[in-house]
Structure formats: structure tokens, C-alpha cells
Amino acid sequence: MIGIAHEVIPADIDETPGADELPAALAERLAREKCAVVAAREPDAVVIAADTIVVIDGLVLNKPADRAEAARMLRRLAGRVHTVFTGVAAMRAGRLAFGVDEVMVTFGDLSDAAIDAYITTGEPMDKAGAYGIQGYGATLVERIDGDYFAVMGLGLRRVVTLLAQLGMAYEFGAPRLVEPPAA
């Protein structure tokens, strides 16, 4: 979307939360671990990794295991505010930069029929919190306070900021990152 050429490489890490690990810390840790795993395989690459955590009532809503769990999650979110934490990490030449975006998302009221119809699309099944704001799930959301792209799973402003911390400047309209001019 912003013109940076990229390749998607799964990290396949254990995403089990640590004892008493807070959601923001979990999102940050998982993004850093994913980044480190891929950077070890691709040492000459600029690596960007992210992890998104959906939280309501202190409960982390992961990807649903089945339709019934997706329905339970969506009923819990319906008509309420929840928090999305997206951790992002970037690594270049052994240097790491990272951060977390926190976004408040408000769902509209949802009928059981609407929840069932949404689940039937299949979209909720591989999404934290059982919804994807970039697809049909956009119709469930009444309000967002924060970065829409962080809710999608990768805050683009955060990415550009982290790359700048690693000495890379984003060039608008160009499909590449450039080294900043020497001072």
C-alpha cells in the first residue's frame, strides 16, 4: 500500500503469554521474537515483524479455534469498547527498534443473526478477536480511537518511525527505503 517492496516470511514462534505478562508487553515481545527469528534466517534483510493482541475485560482474545468460540468472542465485543495492542519490531544489521500502538475500538450492537452471517464468511477464523477490520469486519466497528492500520495488524506510521530509528528514510511514492543523506 505504501510502496515498500517486501516478502512475507512466517516466524513460527511460541506465542504463549508469560505468567502475569500484560497485553502490551506480550505484543511487543512477540513482535521482537518474530523479528529475531526471521533476521537470523535473513541477516542481510531489513526485517519488520508485528503481533496484534485484542483485549476486553482483561481477557486476551486470540484467534478462535472454531465457529462457537468466534461467536462467543463477537458477542462479548458487541456494543462495547475493547483495546487492540499491536507490537512492531524492525531489525537492520543487528540493530533493533520496536514499539507498541494501543487503539480503542468500539463495536456497534450485533444480533445473533449478524454474528452468524459474519462467521459464515470465514473471515473471523484466522483473526485475533475474531474480526478483521480490513474486510467485512469493518461493518462491525462503530469507532476507532487510534491508528486504523495498527488494528489491521501493522501500524504504517510506526513502521516508518522504526525504520528511521534504524537509519532508513521512507521515500514517498518510491517502492524503496533510502539511506538518509550524510550530515
Give the residue numbers annotated as catalytic, written as ranges.
51
User: Which of 111, 155, 160 lies closest to 133 in space, CA to CA?
Assistant: 155
**Residue 16 carries which DSSP code?**
P
Q: How is residue 42 written as a grid cell?
A: 535473513
Place of cell 506480550: 26
User: Which of 17, 91, 1, 18 lies closest to 50 in space, CA to CA?
Assistant: 91
CA distance 177 to 123: 32
User: Which of 100, 103, 92, 110 lies closest to 35 in space, CA to CA?
Assistant: 92
Place of cell 473471515: 123
